[in-house]
Structure 1
Amino acid sequence: MESGQWIQELCLFITASIVCAIGLQTNLFIVGVSAIDRLNRRPLTPADLLITAIATSRILFQFMTLLDLFWITFNGVGSATFAIPSAMIVSSSAYSNIWLSVLQSVFYSLKISNFHNILYLCLKKIILQRVVGLAIMFVVMSIFYSLADILTFVMTSPNNSTQDGGTNHMVQFIRYRVFLLWNVLPFLFYVVSCSALLGSLCRHMYRMRREDNVTVHLDTYYKTIKFTVASFCCFALYVSFNMFGNFLLSFPALLLVGNCFLMLHSLYLIYMTPQLRAQVIKILNVMTRAATRNFGVHD
């Protein structure tokens, strides 16, 4: 490897490690706030549980990403003993994050939208009452898919002489089609839920303006629209890089880009969630008072 390319790869590894560490701390904070609320016997809403579940899946993903980065940095290409379990955890947590994000989008869409057709009302009743069960189901589905995908990859690898070439090509063809379906399907669900939510909000805002209602209350609508659009952009970019990143980017660049979207979205979740934002402000106030006292003592 040339000197310039080696320096570039090293910078990417260092930057990816920093992004992973920031994202890991951010998601640990989200889970920690929920755990403290639970210990204090404060009830957690389904929205809080979904945010906590998403943060937990991202913690696993970012922790294993950091471990992979350090392993490759100090040991080169990892052995199968480390690579297979690591790939299993990374894949399971990545797809759990994707499907839980879809569930969060569907949850907000059903909770906020005000459609009145029978199908929508039945779907709303079924999903809103089974958020925890659906979250567990999506996590289990992600684990089983990741396990099947990795086992299929190992069995059809060129080093495996127990399978003939024709069978390997057929299995790889099916595996790639399932991979596309497993990424496109949640993306379509996300698009439908976001479109329904944005359509409902815009229609309601139009009615309020037409009826000359007080426009001060529209701030909440604008915040919801901004949150929905920002979350969709992060989700769409993350799924796109999950599908095509291996063909477009090197390993450290792929980890950097993927974790950057997760970190930014987690920070945005904290900013948009009043309870999490209040905890951040409280921590900053404590740190400010402590720093002020320390400087006062030194002076």
Structure 2
Amino acid sequence: MSPSAQYIKDLCLFIAGVISYITGLTTNLFIVGVSVVDRLIRRPLTPADLLITAIATSRIIFQLNIFVIIFFQEYSAAYSIAFSSIGNFSIYCNIWCSVLLSVFYSLKIGNFHNFLHRCLKLISRRVLLLILGSVLLSIAYTSVLHMRNFMIIPKNSTQEGDGSLAIRLIMDLFLLLWNVLPFLFYAGSSFALLGSLCRHMYRMRREDNVTGRMDAYYKTIKFTIFSFFSFAFYVTINVFGSDFFDHFGSLLMWNCFPLLHSIYIIYMTARLRATFLNILHGLNKCFLPRKCSPSRSKVVAQIN
């Protein structure tokens, strides 16, 4: 590829990445802002609302961190380590909170037996502790990651073969497990929810009890499938993204799941969707009447 073509490619990826990050930052700020306003007016937040707010907060931290890295590239090694730590922390906090939300929805919506419903009650009462646990796990992972990155391999090949390569292999396996484990939890909860919904829909059709509620089932199934594939794509990019994409391409791909998932969360959550529609309605009332007032006056005159 010629230098000019490479420059155009990097420029397009950079522009697309900046647009996606601005959109994602605005979307997640909206989610957190709605939760803050609800708390200020003493409206209670459900466990799902707390998990959604935690997910949006972790994505805001990640997106702000990326903005700093892109636009302020001249900084010391200490700042580089700090930005890298914040980025890794926000990524895995986002992953584990997304897993918690998937498990919560699976237990809440799925038609399971009493033991899992007791688990749901336990999660509902301990959601803040689970979010705190996700934060601590993400901090622990970030620490292990930096131990791996700054590990000094001895120059002596005998020593390297005896100790350092084994330690590095163990850490690589641990880091791979750290991505595979949340994916397995997410996949298990998603498939369990899909199986429960499909089984319930089949029972309703067999008993000729099909009502308008079927639309809600279809909407939940679409949301679950979309969330699962988005999460799978996000974990894949997190593990193998640097092997297939350059710097700007990785940043753009890295933001696909947070952006699309946050938009879909707003669409699926009644509280967020109603607030967003009210904002749009308020904007329409501010800007549209001035343009429509002449035509409206003509209609009123004709009626009179």
TM-score, structure 1 normalization: 0.91
Partner of 2:301: none
Offset at 1:170?
2.7
**Of residues 81, 86, 89 in structure 2, which corresponds to 1:84?**
81
The whole-number CA distance in structure 2 between the counterparts of 1:241 and 1:272 is: 25
- Residue 1 of structure 2 is aligned to residue 5 of structure 1: no
Partner of 2:38: 37
Whether the aligned pair in 2 keeps the contact of 1:209 and 1:215 (CA below 8 Å) is no
- Residue 211 of structure 2 is aligned to residue 210 of structure 1: no
Partner of 2:50: 49
RCO higher in structure (CA 8 A, sep ≥6): 1
Whether the aligned pair in 1 keeps the contact of 2:59 and 2:91 (CA below 8 Å) is yes
Segments of structure 1 that go 5 or more residues without pairing to the other structure are none
The one-letter amino acid of 2:6's match is: Q
Segments of structure 2 that go 5 or more residues without pairing to the other structure are 296-304
Partner of 1:230: 226
**Of residues 194, 197, 205 in structure 2, which corresponds to 1:198?**
194
Offset at 1:113?
1.4
Offset at 1:217?
1.5
Deviates more, 1:129-138 or 1:98-107: 129-138
- Residue 246 of structure 2 is aligned to residue 245 of structure 1: no
Equivalence map 1:276-295=2 (5 Å): 276-293=272-289, 295=291
Q: Deviations over 1:138-178 (max 9, x none)?
A: 111111111221133123379x99xx644443332122111
The one-letter amino acid of 1:80's match is: A
Equivalence map 1:76-225=2 (5 Å): 79-116=76-113, 118=115, 120-156=116-152, 165-166=160-161, 167-225=163-221
Change over 3 Å in CA distance of 1:179–1:4 after alignment to 2: same
Offset at 1:30?
0.2
Partner of 1:22: 23
Change over 3 Å in CA distance of 1:297–1:200 after alignment to 2: closer
Offset at 1:127?
2.4
Whether the aligned pair in 1 keeps the contact of 2:108 and 2:117 (CA below 8 Å) is no
Report the secondary structure of 1:149's partner residue.
helix
Whether the aligned pair in 2 keeps the contact of 1:156 and 1:171 (CA below 8 Å) is no
Partner of 2:302: none
The one-letter amino acid of 2:247's match is: F
Whether the aligned pair in 2 keeps the contact of 1:47 and 1:104 (CA below 8 Å) is yes
The whole-number CA distance in structure 2 between the counterparts of 1:239 and 1:152 is: 20
Q: Deviations over 1:170-209 (max 9, x none)?
A: 3321221111000000000011101111111111111111
The whole-number CA distance in structure 1 between the counterparts of 2:24 and 2:216 is: 28
The whole-number CA distance in structure 2 between the counterparts of 1:293 and 1:214 is: 43
Partner of 2:271: 275
Whether the aligned pair in 1 keeps the contact of 2:108 and 2:120 (CA below 8 Å) is yes
Based on CA coordinates, which of the two structures has the bigger radius of gyration?
2
The one-letter amino acid of 1:224's match is: T
Q: Deviations over 1:57-101 (max 9, x none)?
A: 0000111112111134xx4xx542221101101100000000100
